[in-house]
Amino acid sequence: MIFITARFTVKPEHADDWPRISGPFTEATRAEAGCKWFDWSRSLDDPAVYVLVEAFRDGDAGAAHVGSAHFKQAQLDLPQYLVATPKIISQVVDQDDWSELGELAVK
């Protein structure tokens, strides 16, 4: 699985609207056959920062995502709302879903 975390700093005047602005890209990505998840979170410390946690089945699914029409459209549409180029961590991991955090097991 390809596991990706990306950090987006949105211009403050657009921060509250980011879920709507990124909505078409998010919905289209979630509909991809190889997308395992594509989830946004907003920073508690800085309301202009959003973190995207995403995963794709494998390299082929990741390539299909980057080659998709909605990805290309997002490349055109989204940068105007950002302060800077997003930062990313992308790794291939040897699992295919979330694992339990045993240290905080709920009984």
How far apart are the C-alpha atoms of 37 and 88, rounded to whole Å? 16
Residue 30 is given by DSSP the state H
pLDDT digits (tens, 9 = 90+) for 3-22: 999 999 999 999 999 999 99
Residue corresponding to tokens 């509909």: 31
What single-letter amino acid sits at 59? G
CATH topology of domain 2-94: Alpha-Beta Plaits (3.30.70)
Q: Choose among 96, 107, 101, 91: nearest CA to 5.
A: 91
pLDDT at 48: 98
So what's the pLDDT on residue 44?
A: 97
Give pLDDT, residue 73.
Answer: 98
pLDDT, residue 88, reads: 98
Distance CA 14, CA 97 (A): 32
> What pLDDT was estimated at residue 105?
93
**Which stretches of the chain score pLDDT less than 70?**
none
The answer to whether the pTM exceeds 0.85 is: yes
Paired tokens of 65: 């995502």
